[in-house]
Structure 1
Amino acid sequence: MNNRILVVDDEPSIAMLLDYNLKLADYDVRCVYDGGAVFEAIRSFRPDLMILDLMLPTMDGVQICRKLRSEGNGLPIIMLTAMQELSDRIAGLDHGADDYMVKPFSPQEVISRIRAVLRRSGASSPEAPPAEIHLGEICISAERRDVTLNGRLIDLTPKEFELLLYLCQHQGRALSRQQLLQNVWDYHFLGDTRIVDVHISHLRDKIEADARNPRYIQTVRSVGYKMTDPYAIPGQRKSTLASR
């Protein structure tokens, strides 16, 4: 069955452009033009991914993201914005969007981003890696796509989960922001790496006892980040990878 894409934009020309190109790429598409119509469309259409404009009548994109995530809805979201300020462009990321694109955009790049987000969220593949990772107090189940900290389930967005999984799979290695963009977001070009910093900040808020003094996700100056085990004996890796 083709993946279902919900397009939410109050500019008919943009919605029509996306509708035309996404259907050519074999996606099922539904368009809505008002923020107030989004939740009914999600219930009736059951999309695999939503392309969401930041500026909408009735309810804007940030409000929609915030409401969905507060309800525990992990629907992958790509935010569209015409804003040029960095703080505006990443506003959706702060409230749970998985990616963003700045208008004007190429339809081909939108399709590439959709494929990457769907692949990373698991919506485009029926198979999940049959493994668990234990690192310190953290347990990650790739099969169930859940994370526990001291036995307590941690609420992560799909992209936060993928980022944490990748960091744990490469424990102890210094990973550049560009490496993370390429391997977690599938961006094989030099882009704005601020998206990585935002998601790292969110992860630290959720898994660190003190996000200002992280024990797990360490900043590597002039490089990026690395995952460490605060309970590991020096010279010995404590994390384990358990296959079924």
Structure 2
Amino acid sequence: MKDAKILLIEGRHTEVPSFAPDLQKKGFEVVIVQSGGEAAKRLDKIAPHLAVVNAASLRSSGVRICQSLNERDAKLPIILIVANGAEVDKDAADAVLSLPFTAQKLVNRIKPLLPSDGKNVIHVGPIRLDVEHRRVKCLSKSSKLTPRLIKLLRILLDHHGEVVERESLFKRVWDTNYTGDTRTLDVHISWLRRAIEIDPNNPRFLKTIRGVGYRLDV
């Protein structure tokens, strides 16, 4: 995405490198704030396309900052940078990087998370499906999807709040009139839950309607 704006939350500890110069050299517009509180207050005004939380420079885990940003904008992609050896929940952000690493590695993580320049991005509630990059983001989770999972999710998004019958889903996703064995659909639903649910065993969004089909509640 051209002219992407990045919110960089970064402290002043000199032993931790600043990533601002490298990101600016790569053509990104970088807005630097020095605390999570400042980031939360200015989030609406800055309107970034992505946030980078350099927790190593803030001497914190960065998890609360990520949570605060997610509460204010569930669609905002977040990359969390932590110190070498730091233990952090991988679901705290869309990507977690441990120092040391190159600036190019950071850029490589940023690009797939940026909004597409095209129109192949679907937003419904907290779910953001980027068809072009085959990636879905829901709350703090970001996952790569197979083409078939994208097709399945698009149907459910188009009919969110409605019960979609198993046979109908199977016919549309697999392009077949045979519905004698739809167990493969159950497997794909399970994979989709892993991609969008914080707890796939207790789904908040993708519900099973026993004996009928599935409903996406967003």
Same fold (TM over 0.5): yes
- Asked whether 1:127 is paired with 2:116, we answer no
C-alpha deviation, 1:110, in angstroms: 0.3
C-alpha deviation, 1:55, in angstroms: 5.2
**2:204 partner SS:** helix
C-alpha deviation, 1:145, in angstroms: 3.8
Cα distance in 2 between the residues matched to 1:26 and 1:51: 16
1:59–1:158 CA distance, 2 compared to 1 (3 A): closer
Q: Is the 8 A contact 1:51 1:80 kept in 2?
A: yes
Q: Name the counterpart of 2:95.
A: 99
Q: Name the counterpart of 2:162.
A: none
Q: Name the counterpart of 1:53.
A: 54
Q: Name the counterpart of 2:108.
A: 112
Cα distance in 1 between the residues matched to 2:17 and 2:116: 23
Pick the structure with greater CA Rg.
2
Gaps of 5+ in 1: 130-141, 149-154, 181-195, 210-214, 217-228, 233-237, 240-244
C-alpha deviation, 1:206, in angstroms: 1.9
Cα distance in 2 between the residues matched to 1:43 and 1:6: 11
Cα distance in 2 between the residues matched to 1:168 and 1:231: 22
C-alpha deviation, 1:70, in angstroms: 2.9
Matches for 1:32-111 after TM superposition, within 5 Å: 32-54=33-55, 61-84=62-85, 88-90=87-89, 93-94=91-92, 97-111=93-107
C-alpha deviation, 1:38, in angstroms: 1.4
**2:38 partner SS:** helix
C-alpha deviation, 1:67, in angstroms: 2.1
Cα distance in 2 between the residues matched to 1:158 and 1:166: 23
Q: Name the counterpart of 1:137.
A: none
**1:8 partner SS:** strand
User: Deviations along 1:93-130, whole A, 9 cap, x unmatched?
Assistant: 24xx1111111111001001000111xxxx2323126x
Corresponding pairs, count: 168
Q: Is the 8 A contact 2:3 2:28 kept in 1?
A: yes
1:15–1:75 CA distance, 2 compared to 1 (3 A): farther
Q: Which amino acid aligns with 1:124?
A: S
Cα distance in 1 between the residues matched to 2:27 and 2:69: 26
C-alpha deviation, 1:53, in angstroms: 2.4
**1:26 partner SS:** coil
Q: Name the counterpart of 1:156.
A: 138
TM-score by length of structure 1 reads 0.53
Q: Is the 8 A contact 1:7 1:52 kept in 2?
A: yes
TM-score by length of structure 2 reads 0.58
Q: Which amino acid aligns with 1:98?
A: D
C-alpha deviation, 1:62, in angstroms: 1.4
User: Deviations along 1:174-197, whole A, 9 cap, x unmatched?
Assistant: 78xxxx9xxxxxxxxxxxxxxx96
Gaps of 5+ in 2: 128-136, 153-172, 174-183
Cα distance in 2 between the residues matched to 1:145 and 1:208: 13
